[in-house]
Amino acid sequence: MYQIIVFAIPVFALLIAGEFVYGCYKQRNTYRLNDALSSLNQGLLSQMVAVCTQFFQIGLYAGLYELVALYPRAAFWDSWYGWLIAIVLFDFCDYWLHRMGHESAIFWAAHVVHHQSQEFNFSTALRQESTVALLGWVFYAPMAIVGVPPEEFAIAGLVVLLYQFWIHTEHVGKLGWFDRVFSSPSNHRVHHAVNDQYIDRNYGGMLVIWDRMFGTFAEEKEPCVYGTRVQLDSWNPGWAVAHTYASLFHDVWHARSWLDKFRILFKPPGWRPAELEARFPRESFTLDKVTHYDPPHSKSAGWLAAGLFTVILAAWAVFLWVADDLGWPRAALSTLALGGALWAVGALLEGRLGKASSVVLASAATAIGVWAPMQLALA
């Protein structure tokens, strides 16, 4: 299945380029190079982590399916209506996982990565989470119980994920009746916004009817401000994954009550006991305090970062191509090494590494990361 993603790379690249050109033509460019590369870095990292955590991605589902499937009739699930039902079921389960990702702090810590971009474009769609499967797999248990085969579960998930790519754009306006049934660009802009009336709304992946049914729908009315209320302010891909966990476990460590430690993890993001708020106060959020993280870099540093990312992308494609045969130790080594190369790209854009240092570090890390995949690809 990972090879499907490799085949999709040129399609994503063309669509991103097309959106960029269209935005420039319309004099409404929605891209910044540093922000876009940061989002794409997270996309690469999430897929590499997925290879290393296949037990959570599909293994637990497959095991549960063998134990509890009530209606595992292949003829039904192989029919066109069986596939349609599987996709709708996945979208329904995904709604609840997505909703929990906003309404419970430990789940938000995993999901927040997708919301960190302060721009809204096709590159944002590829800014995917790396750790959500560690806890999120349980939300798909109903699909195993009704008998959706593991392979069909995986493909249904891929369909729902790929659908959501096109709704990450500011260049498509409202679509009438379509907005009332499906997740659309207008609906999803609301979901990514930090405006008060838009917070925790429009969770549906393909269908927005779930939001209308369960009271989480909001219509786009005023301009959206994107990002997170606690800004990341970094192009470091590792810190993007870890920073909300770090904040969360800081509060867990310092909370005096064991009950409060539990509440901090599972109550809505930002909840804190009064005693903790008094000891470690945090500034309240207002829209006028939002600033765009955009550390200056030279044009040549930007071109170099884009070039290094392209080389890492090629190595990542080789990694995914042989991922199923790579084995966990080699997959983990490649993930760590290529993750280090992605860190070098971010550090260059932040001004923390010079051009020569970033080239040396990214090149060495990429060589280590692609060594084992290349051996298998050429075998």
Q: Are 161 and 172 in contact (CB under 8 A)?
A: no
Closest among 78, 81, 80, 137 to 107, alpha carbons compared: 137
pLDDT tens string 245-259: 999 999 999 999 999
Phi, psi of 226 (to 5 degrees): -100, 160
pLDDT at residue 176 above 80?
Answer: yes
Residue 379: per-residue pLDDT? 65
Phi, psi of 101 (to 5 degrees): -65, -15
pLDDT tens string 19-31: 999 999 999 999 9
Closest among 9, 287, 14, 22 to 170, alpha carbons compared: 22
DSSP 57: I
0.85 exceeded by the pTM? yes
Residue 2: per-residue pLDDT? 83
Instruction: Indicate the residue type of 304.
Output: L
Count of H helices and E strands in the chain? 21, 0
